Amino acid sequence: MNRVFLKPGRESRVIAGHPWVFAGDVDRADPAAQPGEVVQVLSSGNRFLGQALYNPNSQIVLRVLTHTDEVIDDEFIRRRVRAAVNLRRQLGNFDCCRLIFSESDLLPAVIADRYGDVLTFQCLSLGMARFQDTIIQTLVEETGVKGVWERNNVPVRLLEGMELTSGLYWGEVPDVIPINENGLIINVDVKGGQKTGYYLDQRENRAAIEPYCKDARVLDVFTHTGSFALHACKFGAREVTGVDISELAVQSAQENARINGCRMAKFVAANAFDYLRDASDRGEKYDLIILDPPPFAKNKANVEGAARGHKEINLRAMKMLNDGGVLVSNSCSYNMTTDLFRATLISAALDARVTLQFLEWRSQGRDHPVLSTAPETQYLKCVIMRVLR
């Protein structure tokens, strides 16, 4: 097996269990080592550290698979896939969940979601692409689904030297798939919807808003296909408004509301920042506001701008909440750390001249587990707080 040697003093992250080795940590590789192959990882002192997928064309040169000297073959991958699937069986909601969450399931850069009889699949690593057929075949055997849709159209694949592809991988996949989430029926578009079709990571957080919804006037900003808004309706809200910039998303939200009989819900296609500013200027008041924006900080360079964006939307929301009203604020950017997010919320509260009661600090659902040695796998922050005047 070809070898890759790390620079002196750069082995500590690998020994600690982090699955990534960056280009700046690598000293040299055997000349015969090819992009996408499994290699041995050695320290500068020739100490064996593990085996990893190698791609010198990526900023993440090594993605560690194991720290032991074992055979990395299709059966190795099948064991990892079955372990991931068995966890989801334990957690429940097995017919609609994230089946594989990349590094957290020790399957680097692989995402697989289940929506009823359909799987959606992403492989964002050149090395894991060689095992793609094995992974999908094992998932089909374990779940009995009838179709697989490939969503390998994510730009990060270009950084790995891979093509962007999307389409039917196997079987039959309908245009719209109805799922049951917390007793609501929601249509999912796995072919053209965002991410792999739906934001499964917020399922448990949507259920958590129940205590704050009865008879409430609710505003759900960045509503996408209306999931938080629909939950507010289900939990007894008297009036619900959902806002999203995408006309297509708003149409989907309206259809989901119709299916679930949510007559108290309306949806508006608008820029969220503009809508919040105009509503605040009009003196609108709400009992519950939900902010679930897309990632503002996709990398460290965007963090300062992301903090400004989060402060602006939260400041507007705080001004519009009645005394004792509840704000549910989310950030799905790992680079927007919990400490920075907290500081941003407190800064917004000071400018809004309100005091916050933090009720819950939540994260992504259990089917998106967090790997202790890779803090990047905990990305979602969902804060539930009361606003006091």
- Known catalytic residues? 332
Alpha-carbon distance 13 to 7, whole Å?
Answer: 12
Residue 52 near residue 73 (C-beta atoms within 8 A): no
Alpha-carbon distance 34 to 36, whole Å?
Answer: 6
Sequence-distant (≥ 6) Cβ neighbours of residue 248 within 8 angstroms: none
Q: Dig out the tokens for 223 from the structure.
A: 């509503």
Alpha-carbon distance 154 to 162, whole Å?
Answer: 10
Phi, psi of 371 (to 5 degrees): -85, 125
Number of helices (H), then strands (E), belonging to the chain: the values are 11, 20
Alpha-carbon distance 44 to 63, whole Å?
Answer: 18
Work out whether the CA dihedral 274, 279, 285, 287 comes out positive or negative.
negative
Strand partners, 118: 115, 147
Alpha-carbon distance 198 to 333, whole Å?
Answer: 17
DSSP string, 188-254: E-TTTSSTTSS-GGGHHHHHTTGGGTTT-EEEEES-TTTHHHHHHHHTT-SEEEEEES-HHHHHHHH
Phi, psi of 361 (to 5 degrees): -115, 110
Phi, psi of 163 (to 5 degrees): -80, 160
